[in-house]
Amino acid sequence: MPTVKLYANLRKLAGTKELSITGGTVGAVVNELVRQNPPVGEIIVEHGELRRHIIVTLNGQNITDLGTPVTEQDTLAIFPPIAGGEGEAHGWLV
Amino acid sequence: MAGWSEKVLDIDLSTQTCRTYPLDMEIARLFIGGRGLGARLLWDMVGPEVDPLSPENVLIFTNGPLTGTGYQTSNRFSVTTKSPLTGTILDANSGGFWGMQFKKAGYDVMIVRGKAEKPVWIEIRNGEISFHDASELWGMRVFALTAKLGHNNNKRNVLCIGPAGENLSRIASIMNDRERALARGGPGAVMGSKNLKAVVVEGKDRPAIDDPERFKFLLYETRKLLAASPLTSQALPEFGTVVLMNIMNNIGALATRNHQQTQFEGADAISGEELTEKYLVKNASCWACPIGCTRVSKTGKGESEGPEFESTWAFGAQCGIDDLPAIIEANTLCNDLGIDTISVGSTIACAMELSEKGYMDSDLRFGRADQLAPVIEAMAYRRDVGADLADGSLRLATKYGHPELSMTAKGLEFPAYDPRGMQGQGLLYATSNRGGCHMRGNMVGPEVLGLPKMIDRFQVQGKSSFVILHQNVSAAIDSLVLCKFTNMGVADEYFARVLSTVTGIQYDTGEMTRVGERVWNLEKLYNLREGFSRKDDTLPPRLLNEAPVDGPSQGWVVQLEPMLKEYYRGRGWDENGVPRPKKLEELQLADLLVRN
């Protein structure tokens, strides 16, 4: 099964840093994660879609297409919104 | 005029005299304050003939028209000088309380010239400026000195140097409010060269606001915007800036072991998550800041502020160290000694690589957490191996015949982001006027965090337009002066409304960006006058030629040349990176060259 790594407050909500979740695409894995962990789902999904500014990477590459296929050996990482806002702010971090 | 105090305090340490005169308000309108105002004043005062550590160099402390008004994060101030580390124009800005207090003392600018015959400290109180003998304070560390001089966050604020500044380390910082730093490029050495140990300020007058009712509404609206942003309301308060550690590592853009790798196997052990779970005592914040990103951490050696992401990275991944308590203590030690954490960590990493490869005879090795504190002490006092490291990695690596191992641009050590995994960040580093720096238009927003939208971090074509925009906006925010974190929740267009409301001068969005562009071009002109040229807009060979052999950035080097060409064109500069006359006319800078 693909490995899913969670970060920031998602760890507390899921009670773990890492899980193995079944699914053949990024979207399927995310859906299964949300089904198993409703508190995580509240943070990352809204109206059945990933919330804006949720960062999902597949083996370290940013993913925007939830239809991207995943294999057993792949690692998905999910970061909660650590950036964003009402306006089209630019986003600076030190 | 509201916003500005319209007063310059000009201090000559050689004669221990001072005078006060009106601020040129046309200059203030064009450059606002902070970084912009400092650059404009330095242009007239310090030319290429001046050695940065000579009495002829100046320290220009500036606040901005928003400083001290109570607008969210309006606590910041700048220092501008010629850098003893890079020889470029330098400005560094800092938060805390001192900037607000200095504004309340009734000044927009404090210029410090000359050199005192023996150590002095300056007190600004009840409208009086007094010089005090600092002979007995010379040698004191920052925390003890700050307490001794009567620091009180909201009433009496202390700005000072530690032993690193006294010993003219070219990476020494100026500290304020105990653990805040004007950190980069060695301003602490300039202050040390003037025999100035501290400036203590007490103020009492809030700056005037042109339209107080509208200002109240903007405060209310900004509070809502910051509360609505997940970053400023949740991520930064909960995890601090170190929350970036795992993200940067995950995408293969976390510089590791002096940029020999782009991922660190110990990243999770030094992450924001780990810091929060095991070492966080509480949050703290600067004056008028609702975000509260400051960490107060505790190890077996006590409590202290920090560490920030860059400091954690510099002593962590960059040195191959995953011992978080040792990193927290190294950060605290640097603050107490008054020395820049990023440059210290990266210089130690450079020494570790030089030593491991047999170029330098020392026992410094990657991963040795036990070596951090002793070598930092040695750097601040120029003792033993520290004498070689005290002036940064470029001088160190050059001494041992391998300047290519210094991870710097124009001599300033890079922060955490490895630009092989973020092409725009590479262009930013190469073109930054103060050297390798992320605070001059960080590309982590669009290239990593998807803010305002995600762009391909490996993309080269078209990237320069994002970099230029970010650089200009960054320069404008630094001239207000506000914390860049505010811009996580509040669009930069909004700042024009705030500035207009406070000053009564109508700035629109375009004018704010234009101010940023004007400041950027003036800084460029300054560096050109100092003899910098196209060859200095570059990166170390490692980042241009050595691709990571594994991880998500595998196979990538920085494609600098095509981005640089596009960048110069986009800026309206010629192929050698010199601003064209038409651009200078457009920015109202042309007459500077004529008068020069």
Q: Which domains does chain A have, with CATH numbers?
A: 3-79 (3.10.20.30)
Does a cis peptide bond (omega within 30 degrees of 0) precede residue B558?
Answer: no
Q: Is residue B230 included in any domain, yes or no? A: no
Q: Is A4 left (phi over 0), alpha (psi -120 to 50) or beta?
A: beta
> What whole-number distance in Å separates Cα of residue B260 and Cα of residue B230?
34
Q: Is residue B41 included in any domain, yes or no? A: yes
Are residues B578 and B487 both part of a single domain?
yes
- Going from the C-alpha of B499 to that of each of B74, B207, B493, the distances in angstroms are 12, 13, 11
Are residues B387 and B246 both part of a single domain?
yes
Please report residues of B whose CB lies closer than 8 A to that of A17. 268
Of B411, B444, B467, which marks where a domain is finished?
Answer: B411
Q: Is residue B228 included in any domain, yes or no? A: no
- The secondary element (H helix, E strand) that includes residue B123 is strand B120-125
> What whole-number distance in Å separates Cα of residue B546 and Cα of residue B558?
9
**Ranges of H-type helices in B240-385:** 244-250, 272-278, 309-315, 324-337, 341-356, 372-381
What per-residue confidence (pLDDT) applies to A94?
A: 39
- Report the amino acid identity of residue B576: N
Are residues B312 and B456 both part of a single domain?
no
Nearest to A59 among B228, B415, B552 (CB): B552
Q: Is residue B254 included in any domain, yes or no? A: yes
DSSP letter at B242?
Answer: G
Residue for token pair 């160290």: B321
Q: Which residue of B has its CA nearest to A87?
A: B491
Read off φ and ψ for residue A4, nearest 5 degrees. -115, 125
Q: Is residue B227 included in any domain, yes or no? A: no
Chain B closest-CA separation from residue A77 CA (Å)? 8
Nearest to B450 among A55, A59, A93 (CB): A55
Please report residues of A whose CB lies closer than 8 A to that of B239. 8
Please report residues of A whose CB lies closer than 8 A to that of B238. 8-9
Beta-bridge mates of residue B105: none
pLDDT(A86) > 70: no
Structure tokens at B432: 């930054």
What per-residue confidence (pLDDT) applies to B229?
A: 84
pLDDT, one tens digit for every residue, chain B (596 residues) = 899 999 999 999 999 999 999 999 999 999 999 999 999 999 999 999 999 999 999 999 999 999 999 999 999 999 999 999 999 999 999 999 999 999 999 999 999 999 999 999 999 998 899 999 999 999 999 999 999 999 888 899 999 999 999 999 999 999 999 999 999 999 999 999 999 999 999 999 999 999 999 999 999 999 999 998 888 888 888 888 898 999 999 999 999 999 999 999 999 999 999 999 999 999 999 999 999 989 899 999 999 999 999 999 999 999 999 999 999 999 999 999 999 999 999 999 999 999 999 999 999 999 999 999 999 999 999 999 999 999 999 999 999 999 999 999 999 999 999 999 999 999 999 999 999 999 999 999 899 988 888 899 999 999 999 999 999 999 999 999 999 989 888 888 899 999 999 999 999 888 999 999 999 999 999 999 999 999 999 999 999 999 999 999 999 999 999 999 999 999 999 999 999 999 999 999 999 887 55
What per-residue confidence (pLDDT) applies to B309?
A: 95
- Going from the C-alpha of B88 to that of each of B43, B56, B430, B525, the distances in angstroms are 12, 15, 13, 11
Answer whether A67 touches B (CB < 8 Å). Answer: no
Mutation target for A interface from B223, B440, B451: give the one with most A CBs within 10 A: B451
Q: For chain A, list the strands marked E by DSSP.
A: 3-6, 18-20, 45-46, 49-50, 55-58, 61-62, 75-79
CB–CB of B72/B223 below 8 Å?
A: yes
Answer whether B227 touches A (CB < 8 Å). Answer: no
Residues A7, B247: C-beta atoms closer than 8 Å:
yes
Of B411, B444, B468, which marks where a domain is finished?
Answer: B411
Residue partners of B485: CB distance under 8 A and separation at least 6: A92, A93, B73, B231, B232, B236, B291, B293
Please report residues of B whose CB lies closer than 8 A to that of A9. 234, 238
> What whole-number distance in Å separates Cα of residue B102 and Cα of residue B112?
14
Domain count for chain B, please give it: 3
Residues A7, B273: C-beta atoms closer than 8 Å:
yes
Q: pLDDT-derived band of residue A83, with 50, 70 and 90 as boundaries? A: very low
Answer whether A55 touches B (CB < 8 Å). Answer: yes
Answer whether A11 touches B (CB < 8 Å). Answer: yes
Q: Is residue B357 included in any domain, yes or no? A: yes
Are residues B160 and B71 both part of a single domain?
yes
Are residues B181 and B39 both part of a single domain?
yes
CATH of the domain at B363: 1.10.569.10
CB–CB of B253/B422 below 8 Å?
A: yes
Q: Which residue of A has its CA nearest to B243?
A: A8
Are residues B300 and B166 both part of a single domain?
no
Answer whether B341 touches A (CB < 8 Å). Answer: no
Residue partners of A42: CB distance under 8 A and separation at least 6: none
Chain A closest-CA separation from residue B451 CA (Å)? 6
What per-residue confidence (pLDDT) applies to B596?
A: 56
Helix (H, G, I), strand (E, B) or coil at B195: coil
CATH of the domain at B499: 1.10.599.10
Are residues B399 and B425 both part of a single domain?
no
Are residues B249 and B345 both part of a single domain?
yes
CB–CB of B314/B333 below 8 Å?
A: no
Are residues B427 and B396 both part of a single domain?
no
pLDDT(A31) > 50: yes
Are residues B250 and B181 both part of a single domain?
no
Structure tokens at B282: 């509480």
Q: How many other C-beta atoms lie within 10 A of the C-beta of residue B49?
A: 7
Residues B470, A90: C-beta atoms closer than 8 Å:
yes
Chain B window 433-492: which residues touch A at a Cβ cutoff of 8 Å?
A: 438-439, 442, 444-446, 448-452, 454, 457, 469-470, 473-474, 477, 484-485, 487-492
**Total CB pairs under 8 A between chain A and B:** 148
Q: Is residue B137 included in any domain, yes or no? A: yes
- Report the amino acid identity of residue A36: Q
Are residues B177 and B243 both part of a single domain?
no
Structure tokens at B117: 């015959």
> What whole-number distance in Å separates Cα of residue B546 and Cα of residue B528?
30
Beta-bridge mates of residue B573: B579
What per-residue confidence (pLDDT) applies to A82?
A: 63
Q: How many other C-beta atoms lie within 10 A of the C-beta of residue B500?
A: 20
DSSP codes, B475-516: HHHHHHT--TTHHHHS-HHHHHHHHHHHHSS---HHHHHHHH
Answer whether B185 touches A (CB < 8 Å). Answer: no
Chain A closest-CA separation from residue B486 CA (Å)? 9
Q: Is residue B224 included in any domain, yes or no? A: no
ipTM above 0.95, yes or no: no
Are residues B153 and B292 both part of a single domain?
no
Q: Which domain holds residue B439?
A: 419-595
Of B357, B386, B411, which marks where a domain is finished?
Answer: B411
